[in-house]
Structure 1
Amino acid sequence: MAANKCVAVVLAGCGVFDGSEIHETSAVLVHLSRRKAEVKMFAPNIDQMHVVDHLKGSPTEEKRNVLVESARLARGEIHDLADIKVEEFDALIVPGGFGVAKNLSTWAVEGKACTVHDQVTSTLQDFHKAKKPIGLCCIAPVLAAKVFPGCEVTVGKDENIDGRFPDAETASAIKEIGSKHINRDVHECHVDQANKIITTCAFMCKAPIHEIFDGIGKMLEEVLKIA
């Protein structure tokens, strides 16, 4: 019998507006558990761009640390991203949430002109170089689009069909930085076979939570097939 896969999950804080999206992260962990994968979680030991009051939807004067906040989601079992060793893992997963665009990169304020955090860039490059699959959901596919120009990703649809894809302009930005956007619905994923990058739109689509959960499951199924 094949050994269980070992998967690294990179978090960006805790909470949709300034960290990792909690429901997406939970879906990732449930689907990996169901497939008997071993999981180790990581986050960069850096300050958040800002802290958002999730009740009011506005920034506060607080300062918080991405690694410390990610520990909330990881139930304390988390490690500094600086210590990740690609040879210990079969795959890499990055859930979405605005923390990806604020803490792991500067996409939230600079869009297609953004930079990706150095540790995040080197982690993605190391897994890619080792030909190990990378799974990304929600806004996280922009990391791959920026780090691997020419790769194929999905963040849903490039048109706001029936109001379901309010962030459709993200697809256009991905094209403008030289990567390819593939239209997929929320229950689907896209597999870039050449780069072993698997993406799904998750909360980039206004859909019932079970459909988002199913789409993440499809993405992880494809990741583990390749791993």
Structure 2
Amino acid sequence: MARGEIQDVSSVSAGDLDALIIPGGFGAAKNLSDFAVKGPDAQVHSEVQRLLEEMADHSKPIGAICIAPATLTRVLSKRSPRVTIGNDAGTAAAIESMGGVHAACSVSDICVDEKNRIVTTPAYMLGPGIKDVAAGIEKLVTKILSLC
């Protein structure tokens, strides 16, 4: 979801944003990168990669929900981002093999990487229902706003 006029990611730069939150879901794992198919060997869409690198270079806060921390880790692997996707051993291992540090986390909580200004939450990687998922996402948004 977006507020305001939706723009092509190629026309957006870190200078245009205060923060960035990447939604998750299977579509994100197939369209922002090909993590859904290639796992740790995934490639990230070039414009998504550019924007994530710019955000990190400018120390702007980045949030990632559900499976999106895998894409984030693929891009920022040299920074060893600390992220969560919950407790799925296979996906956590993929994140670690890409250079990330995985932290187990409950559906209603967040993982905060203060050094890299990254906030993640498992959402439907764990969530039994929207009420549980919403609690973690609301915490993520609140934390991202506090970092702006």
Measured against the shorter chain, the TM-score band is: over 0.9
| TM-score in terms of structure 1 length | 0.62
- The answer to whether 1:108 aligns with 2:43 is no
Q: Corresponding residue for 1:208?
A: 129
Pick from 50, 56, 62: which aligns with 1:122? 50
For residue 194 of structure 1, report the CA deviation from its aligned partner.
0.6
Deviations 1:159-210 (A, max 9, x none): xxxxxxxxx4111111112210001100000110110110000000142211
Q: Corresponding residue for 2:138?
A: 217
Q: Corresponding residue for 2:83?
A: 153
Alpha-carbon distance in structure 1 between the residues aligned to 2:147 and 2:35:
29
For residue 111 of structure 1, report the CA deviation from its aligned partner.
0.5
SS at match of 1:101: helix
Aligned residues of 2:127 and 2:133 also touching (Cα < 8 A) = no
Q: Corresponding residue for 1:86?
A: 14
Alpha-carbon distance in structure 2 between the residues aligned to 1:215 and 1:100:
18
- In our comparison, the structure showing a higher alpha carbon Rg is 1
For residue 95 of structure 1, report the CA deviation from its aligned partner.
0.6
Aligned residues of 2:40 and 2:95 also touching (Cα < 8 A) = yes
Alpha-carbon distance in structure 1 between the residues aligned to 2:69 and 2:30:
14
Greater helix content: 2
For residue 89 of structure 1, report the CA deviation from its aligned partner.
1.6
Alpha-carbon distance in structure 2 between the residues aligned to 1:177 and 1:132:
22
- The answer to whether 1:97 aligns with 2:97 is no
Q: Corresponding residue for 1:47?
A: none
| TM-score in terms of structure 2 length | 0.93
Q: Which runs of 4+ in 1 moved over 2 A?
A: none
Q: Corresponding residue for 1:188?
A: 109
* Higher RCO, Cα 8 Å, sep 6+: 2
For residue 147 of structure 1, report the CA deviation from its aligned partner.
0.9
For residue 135 of structure 1, report the CA deviation from its aligned partner.
0.5
For residue 84 of structure 1, report the CA deviation from its aligned partner.
0.5
Q: Corresponding residue for 1:131?
A: 59
Give the alignment's Cα RMSD to 1 decimal. Answer: 1.3
Alpha-carbon distance in structure 1 between the residues aligned to 2:100 and 2:144:
20
Query: 1:141 is matched by which residue type in structure 2?
Result: P
Aligned residues of 2:40 and 2:97 also touching (Cα < 8 A) = yes
Q: Report % sequence identity.
A: 40
Would you say how many aligned residue pairs link Structure 1 and Structure 2? 146
